[in-house]
Structure 1
Amino acid sequence: MKRRSLLQLTGAGALGGLAACSGGGSDTGNVGNAGKDLAPWPTYVPFAGPQPDAPGDDSVGVQPLYLTYPAQLTSAYTEAPGDGSEVTAMVVTYEAPPKPLEQNSFWQEIGKALNVKLNVVVVPDPEYAQKMTTLMAAGGDLPDIVMFTNLNLPRRAEFIQRGCADISDLVAGDAVKQFPGIANIPTYAWKGMGRIGGRIYGVPLERPMPANSMFVNRTRLDEVKAPVDWNHDQYLSAMRDLSSGRRWGTGWYKTLFTGLGGITYHAGTWGAPNIWAVQGGAFTHTAATPQFEQALGVMRELTSAATHYPDSLTASSTDMQNNFYNGTVASLPNGFGALALPNLQKIGNRYTLGLARPYSAQATPWRSLGNFGFATFKKAAPERLKVLLRIVDHLSSPFGTKEYELINYGVEGRHFTKENGVITTTELYKSENSSTLPIRYIGTAPTVLHLPGYPEVAQAAHEWEKAVMPRSIAQPAAGLQSATQSSKGAQLDQILGDGIAAITFGRKPVSSWKETLTQWKAAGGDQLAEEFAKEYQAAS
């Protein structure tokens, strides 16, 4: 696609295109799963890949570690998945727009491998929520594949149920075996995505089990003699020592104050439940626990000590991440998927990337939903849906395959070289990869710990997972549906986010949290708890 066409498709005209999933109406369907005939989760058929240098542990979320690249690769497919047709996918992006197709050799090679004319419509992250909300209220045709992040969009489930393809018959149970890449997606990723009305409407984009984690500049932490295993006082002392001149110890950004994103590390450190706690079948929100208030207190301490980036409430996620990569801030909460080669290349030789361990002995680190979001499909005849699923399947090819190599590193000799078990990317890779052309948000392989050129970072991440994840706890409401969540979830998240921000930045005392909690409950929080309890029982 030409750049002009790409930008036009991300504008208002493209937004109407997605509303085929909404039917253009405002009625809500019954998206719950209680009392429904539940489509079975797709059968998990793990890929028998190369032997890792250190094993993973799926039971607690430790990934397999690969310090070197496999010497022998297998071919996942004998033929291309596409039929030569045109396929349009709409995805979020956290990068600048990709180079146009005619100037982008990576894009061209992906199209050849898939045997389709692949149009990728990118929506910049700062615009994603507004554009997706707008498109769900409009009318028009739908792109073939639409990617949803886990952002809480109003009436998202109804939007999908009404107009997007129900793919249950193609992927539920053993049916998924016709798509080996999709069958290799672990069950936890599907459960985290959830069913809608008992049916399956998307393919999850798998992510590791660690939830939002605190990424740190390990080099600067070593300079101030901050221990790897620290306590509360040592943590605060390190953040103070790191903050001077135009450099800060901690960084947040505005999108992390829309709900619970920015407080995840601190809440888990103090042992707060992962969003919800279930006891005797009843749901209690983490915001109502004393451990959560302890976490709020630490965030207030950090800003009182002037350790935080001063524009935390206005900086975009992209700008704040760049501030972390260039060394302006020394720590930043982010999704675990940020542990990726393109981001390490942004850091370069400035410092060594690390992950912060909890600073309390009572820690219960939070697990993620097991996915970054999911891909949905335009309603179509079964044969067309199979083509689209084969494309997602191909893009989900596992580590150790030739297909994975192309998708993740490009063309050997052009985007990377390979010698003695080490992948070395070229200058061209920086502008042509699966982040700048975000095909990894159409389909993606289950992640492993392999970071070419940065084996020490991968090793340290594996040690972090082994130390932290055995104590981690899952989110009991993961994948559950709720009418209140669908209609008011974004509003409820904003109430909590505004309350967190007010305390964090000193506009209100920590004691004001009880007022925020009362407001949240009255606005629908109590109803949310009741609905999740009902769904939880049905899914058990």
Structure 2
Amino acid sequence: MDRRSLFKAAGVGAFGLATGSVLGACGGGSGGDVSNAGKDLAAWPSYVPFAGPPPDAPGDESTGVQALYRDYPADLVRSVQETVGDGSDVTAMVVSYGAPPKALEKNRYWQAINQALNVNLKVVVVPDPEYAQKMTTLMASGSDLPDIVMFTNLNLPRRAEFIRRSCADLSDLLAGDAVKDYPNLANLPTYAWKGMGRIGGRIYGVPLERPMPANSLFVNRDMLNAAGAPVNWDKDQYLAAMAEVSTGNHWGIGWYKTLFGGLGGITYHAGSFGAPNTWSSSGGGFTHTATTGEFQEALAVMRQLADAGSQHPDSATASSTDMQNFFYNGTVASMSNGFGSLALQTLTQIDDRFGLDLARPYTPDATPWQSSGTFGFATFKKAAPDRIRMLLRICDYLSAPFGTTEYELANYGVEGVHFTKDDGVVRTTKLYDTENSVLLPVRYIGTAPTVLHLPGHPDVAQAAYDWEKAVLPRSVANPANGLQSTTLANKGAQLDQILGDGIAAITFGRKPVSAWPGIVSDWKKAGGDQLAEELAAEARAAA
């Protein structure tokens, strides 16, 4: 778990409410018409699934359930047969959620990546807190771009215009069957390409896939078991469990600030009550989830939790990193975070202090929210066709799926140096702590479709698989994923601020729940109604 929770899962607004335009806009100047309405749309890349090692339990494309691997595959395969790079320097700018990487000459992981790619990869890491400002400055400066520029799902102003003006149009190389020249990119599921979206009908990036579950409620199963909380609970049992564990220096919930003042956790409660995932689309129109009665019911529950003292007292001011530490050490029994934080790094932080699990919704009419299917995407500076093809080969290599030698290098490093393998378990070495794909974030240049595999923790992976089987068949997507909107590009932050501040004010008692309709009215007048109209028009064009 890390600050990725700000941007992942249901979206990157205050609490995942204003997402939908993954390619919302970027930079000044003229990028032309970025809408897809009335355009000749490039075909989505063909999906050619990788035939890798058989899982212990299969995935389900129709629901988003991931394949389960309790053990690491004994026999790996190669997915890249040809030489990737041409020996040249390749610059890449990516977001970072860790310390700066060790220098290349002292970093055996970085050296191994360069050798495998046959390039001198120069990675410029932008710390997460500085990301928005750095990217805005880069786009406004007009200076020479890195070869690869990674965008998170953060809705930066005028981003799509910048991308269309300054980045390479990849449609002819990726649309339809053309993607088959890059088999690992062809293995990316269609939902990831759709979640990234088109700009002006064209494809300008390579998506960084994320699984279908959106922000999820991670729970300390030991604390909940001690409180008598069942796995399948109703609302009253949930409220009672949160109150029961909130004694002494322990609390039921760890909320935290998110972008624009919202609170992490609203997605779990809104989905539990059956609120639509950010937007609903019916009869050609778009309706925002904040305008629904189910969403207001979710707010009422969050207020009940606060009134009962079930939330950590620092919830109004704590960062996600602060609250994650409270969750790791058992101070709080639950916290909301992106599903992608179900990872070895999280379990290492917990260090077997408790059993990690995911909470199921607490009403029978629940509509758990799906993610956009991406964390972001990689774009390329305009260049000669041969260089663009080489950059695509780099993304292809780093997107190699689980069960391949390329995946092993990108995710674990060099065997015998950064990890060892024993009886189906990958065990990382001390060196891995300072040389890995978090500190050198090549995972944000290309990334494999995720599977459920947690080295040394097969029972946690099995519990997550069981949770997906129980929850995902009822989950709903955000119909605005991948759509363009001028209002979202120009006013998305302002609209998020209105709703985010309203949630915080109601949750912590500064306003009554009955104030919510007025807050929604302010949001509509500030541009929410116009946003709904624009998304509806885009949806009709993309149909």
**TM-score, structure 1 normalization:** 0.93
Cα distance in 2 between the residues matched to 1:257 and 1:272: 22
1:446 counterpart = 2:446: no
- Aligned match of 1:479 in 479, 482, 498? 482
Aligned counterparts, 1:94-133, within 5 A: 94-133=97-136
Is the Cα contact below 8 Å between 2:30 and 2:165 reproduced in 1? Answer: no
Cα distance in 1 between the residues matched to 2:247 and 2:239: 14
1:328 counterpart = 2:331: yes
Is the Cα contact below 8 Å between 2:86 and 2:119 reproduced in 1? Answer: yes
Match of 1:177 in 2: 180
Residue 439 of structure 1, CA deviation:
1.2
Match of 1:6 in 2: none
Cα distance in 1 between the residues matched to 2:250 and 2:309: 11
1:412 counterpart = 2:442: no
Match of 2:207 in 1: 204
Is the Cα contact below 8 Å between 1:260 and 1:496 reproduced in 2? Answer: no
The Cα offsets for residues 283-313 of structure 1, whole Å up to 9 and x where unpaired, read as 1110000000011111111221222233334
The Cα offsets for residues 101-159 of structure 1, whole Å up to 9 and x where unpaired, read as 22221111111111111122222222222332333333311111111111222211112
2:379 aligned counterpart, secondary structure: strand
Highest RCO, 1 vs 2 (Cα 8 Å, sep ≥ 6): 2
Match of 1:311 in 2: 314
The Cα offsets for residues 199-246 of structure 1, whole Å up to 9 and x where unpaired, read as 001110001101111111112212222111111111111112222333
Is the Cα contact below 8 Å between 2:246 and 2:252 reproduced in 1? Answer: yes
Is the Cα contact below 8 Å between 1:205 and 1:443 reproduced in 2? Answer: yes
Q: Decide whether aligned partners of structure 1 residues 51 and 134 sit closer, same or farther in structure 2, where only a CA change above 3 A counts.
A: same
Moved more, 110-119 or 124-133: 124-133
Is the Cα contact below 8 Å between 2:77 and 2:405 reproduced in 1? Answer: yes
Match of 1:280 in 2: 283
Aligned counterparts, 1:154-233, within 5 A: 154-233=157-236
- Aligned match of 1:254 in 244, 257, 260? 257
Is the Cα contact below 8 Å between 1:126 and 1:317 reproduced in 2? Answer: no
Q: Decide whether aligned partners of structure 1 residues 368 and 110 sit closer, same or farther in structure 2, where only a CA change above 3 A counts.
A: same
Cα distance in 1 between the residues matched to 2:539 and 2:331: 43
- Unaligned 5+ runs, structure 2: 1-23
- Aligned match of 1:513 in 512, 516, 521? 516
Cα distance in 1 between the residues matched to 2:90 and 2:97: 22
Residue 329 of structure 1, CA deviation:
2.1
Cα distance in 1 between the residues matched to 2:488 and 2:105: 43
Q: Decide whether aligned partners of structure 1 residues 258 and 379 sit closer, same or farther in structure 2, where only a CA change above 3 A counts.
A: farther
1:245 counterpart = 2:248: yes
2:514 aligned counterpart, secondary structure: helix
Q: Decide whether aligned partners of structure 1 residues 24 and 186 sit closer, same or farther in structure 2, where only a CA change above 3 A counts.
A: closer
Aligned counterparts, 1:520-531, within 5 A: 520-531=523-534
Match of 2:43 in 1: 40
**TM-score, structure 2 normalization:** 0.93
Moved more, 453-462 or 162-171: 162-171
Is the Cα contact below 8 Å between 2:29 and 2:162 reproduced in 1? Answer: no
2:265 aligned counterpart, secondary structure: helix
Match of 1:504 in 2: 507
Cα distance in 2 between the residues matched to 1:502 and 1:400: 48
1:462 counterpart = 2:465: yes
Is the Cα contact below 8 Å between 2:483 and 2:535 reproduced in 1? Answer: yes
Residue 377 of structure 1, CA deviation:
1.0
Specify the code of the residue in structure 2 equivalent to 1:347: I
Specify the code of the residue in structure 2 equivalent to 1:298: V
- Unaligned 5+ runs, structure 1: 1-20
Cα distance in 1 between the residues matched to 2:489 and 2:70: 43
The Cα offsets for residues 447-496 of structure 1, whole Å up to 9 and x where unpaired, read as 01111100000000000000000000111111011111111112111111
1:31 counterpart = 2:34: yes
Cα distance in 1 between the residues matched to 2:385 and 2:480: 32
Residue 261 of structure 1, CA deviation:
5.3
Cα distance in 1 between the residues matched to 2:26 and 2:377: 20
Is the Cα contact below 8 Å between 1:83 and 1:116 reproduced in 2? Answer: yes
Match of 1:15 in 2: none
Q: Decide whether aligned partners of structure 1 residues 300 and 24 sit closer, same or farther in structure 2, where only a CA change above 3 A counts.
A: closer
Residue 396 of structure 1, CA deviation:
0.3
Compute the RMSD of aligned alpha carbons: 1.7
Specify the code of the residue in structure 2 equivalent to 1:302: L
Is the Cα contact below 8 Å between 2:26 and 2:160 reproduced in 1? Answer: no
Cα distance in 1 between the residues matched to 2:276 and 2:78: 43
Q: Decide whether aligned partners of structure 1 residues 466 and 245 sit closer, same or farther in structure 2, where only a CA change above 3 A counts.
A: same
Is the Cα contact below 8 Å between 1:22 and 1:136 reproduced in 2? Answer: no
Cα distance in 1 between the residues matched to 2:497 and 2:31: 22
Match of 1:265 in 2: 268
1:254 aligned counterpart, secondary structure: coil
Cα distance in 2 between the residues matched to 1:425 and 1:479: 37
1:128 aligned counterpart, secondary structure: helix
Cα distance in 2 between the residues matched to 1:360 and 1:327: 27
